[in-house]
Amino acid sequence: MEKPAQVSVRDLRISYDLGVLTHDMLAQNPFDQFADWFAQAADSEILEPNAMVVSTVGLDSQGNARPASRTVLLKDFSELGFTFYTNLESAKSLDIAVNPNVTLLFPWYELHRQVIISGRAKLVPRDLVEEYFHSRPRQSQLGAWASQQSARLENREVLDAQYAECELRFAEREVIPVPDFWGGWEVVPTRIEFWQGRESRLHDRFVFELHDDLTWFPTRLSP
Ligand SMILES: Cc1cc2nc3c(=O)[nH]c(=O)nc-3n(C[C@H](O)[C@H](O)[C@H](O)COP(=O)(O)O)c2cc1C
């Protein structure tokens, strides 16, 4: 087989010149600002604009803090928080049980933008979980039952067999119940940063922070 052409990683660079972010341009609060940028991301060529990297900090076997990141899909947002759904026995959920402080990062590279939300995760109420679970395709609902997310698997066949078993188990049921081990996390933000790439690496960064649990104040940060 031919050797792949060498890519010079250190020479990969683009200029960030799609826009600017000034104090005057910012919305009154970070939720309106997020909604505005999210609408633009959704309107762009970005694949899965609602994909975000959630970082958690759990404990390793020695009891030391151990960060971990993975992509999930944002499924709801409001002034109350930012919601994603997952397996409640997964590695990420176990991390959150130990330490609810998480960050959510939206990498909107095509727009030369990044949003980072820091906050505390809390469980989504069961009625909302039920509503969302049943809005998903039947195959995804069965997939949730079939996968012990984050657990070791002997091979692919084991997973496929578990799925087939779930198909049989629920064959007669029009409505598939929500597994107890499946649910949602709502991240209640304490800090939201908006990053707009600029030329010469002199990017625009504004962070909204909550003061007195009441008012959001934006501050410009050095790039
Ligand atoms: C684009 C994309 C979207 C994803 N969305 C979700 C999601 O909404 N929920 C989820 O549990 N996993 C999702 N995953 C899979 C996770 O990245 C991850 O593999 C899984 O949740 C297990 O993570 P954990 O072992 O750290 O808990 C997604 C992966 C990708 C690449």
Q: What is the CATH number of the domain that holds 43?
A: 2.30.110.10
Answer yes or no: is pLDDT of 98 > 90.
Answer: yes
Domain assignment present for 24: yes
Domain assignment present for 95: yes
Query: Which letter, b or e, does each residue of 94-116 get, where b requires 16 or more Cβ atoms within 10 Å of its Cβ?
Result: ebbeeebebbbbbebeebbbbbb
Tens digits of residue pLDDT in 63-92: 999 999 999 999 999 999 999 999 999 999
Tens digits of residue pLDDT in 178-199: 999 999 999 999 999 999 999 9
Domain assignment present for 164: no
Residue 152 corresponds to which tokens in the numbers above?
């070791």
183 lines ligand 1 (CB under 6 A): no
Task: Please count the structural domains in the chain.
Answer: 1
Supply the residue whose CA is at minimum distance from atom 31 of ligand 1: 71
> What is the domain range of residue 118?
17-135+182-221
Q: Which residue has the tokens 């010469």?
A: 200
Active-site hit among 173, 201, 205, 220: 201
pLDDT the model gives residue 2: 82
72 lines ligand 1 (CB under 6 A): yes
Q: What angle do CA 81, 52, 95 make, to 5 degrees?
A: 75
Tens digits of residue pLDDT in 102-135: 999 999 999 999 999 999 999 999 999 999 999 9
Q: Which atom of ligand 1 is nearest to the CA of 93?
A: 27
Answer yes or no: is pLDDT of 6 > 90.
Answer: no
Domain assignment present for 165: no
pLDDT the model gives residue 3: 83
Domain assignment present for 153: no
Domain assignment present for 217: yes
Instruction: Find the 93 Cα to ligand 1 centroid distance in Å.
Output: 11
Q: Which atom of ligand 1 is nearest to the CA of 73?
A: 8
Domain assignment present for 148: no
Q: Is 197 helix (H, G, I), strand (E, B) or coil?
A: coil
Sequence-ordered strand ranges (E) for 65-112: 65-73, 76-78, 81-87, 101-108
Supply the residue whose CA is at minimum distance from atom 5 of ligand 1: 72
Domain assignment present for 68: yes
